[in-house]
Amino acid sequence: MPVVSGLPNGRWIMTYEDCGGPHGCGASYLIADSPLTFGSAKPNYIQPVGGNIPTSSPYNVWTPYGGPNGTIIANANSDKAIFYNKKLGDVNAWVRVDTNQTAGYSRQIRVTSNPQYIELILGGTIGAKSNRVTTSVLDLAKYIA
């Protein structure tokens, strides 16, 4: 389940789960000059400094909020946190930030009409007896340093 977003420098990011790697289904990403050239890009994991690699069904968006490069926002099924990167996907620049939102399978992230706010949309969790759709809006000013 790859998710692709354009970056302001003309490059592209794709997040996906690497279930064949050493980190379970680690949240991985590629950065490429074109969405057609991910095959030759170097794979990396979303790993916050001093933290663990999240796993399963990662999702990403880019927002112009957060500085001259804007911010990549990502999440994964294993963690209710969001992960952000203000350095266009630099492998050493991921930061984990707790949210009070529920973790879940393919939790979508949308940038609202005001890029300071993102919406998290969750359709449920794997194995749940009932799935209810939840949505919440986060003010990035409270989460991004």
- Say how far apart CA 141 and CA 138 lie, in whole Å: 9
In this prediction, residue 141 has a pLDDT band, given cuts at 50, 70 and 90, of very high
* 126 has pLDDT over 70: no
63, 102, 54, 117: CA torsion to nearest 10: 10
* 109 has pLDDT over 70: yes
Question: Position 141: which residue type?
Answer: A
The share of the chain scoring above pLDDT 70, in percent, equals: 96
- Say how far apart CA 72 and CA 109 lie, in whole Å: 11
For residues 22-29, average pLDDT = 93
> Phi and psi (nearest 5°) for 89?
95, 10
- Say how far apart CA 115 and CA 46 lie, in whole Å: 22
In this prediction, residue 124 has a pLDDT band, given cuts at 50, 70 and 90, of low
- Say how far apart CA 81 and CA 45 lie, in whole Å: 16
For residues 4-24, average pLDDT = 95
Segments making up each domain of the chain, as ranges: 3-142
Total-model pTM: 0.94
Look at phi and psi of residue 97 and say left if phi exceeds 0, alpha if psi is from -120 to 50, else beta.
Answer: beta
User: Under CATH, which architecture does the 3-142 domain have?
Assistant: 6 Propeller (2.120)
> Phi and psi (nearest 5°) for 92?
-95, 15
- Say how far apart CA 131 and CA 44 lie, in whole Å: 32
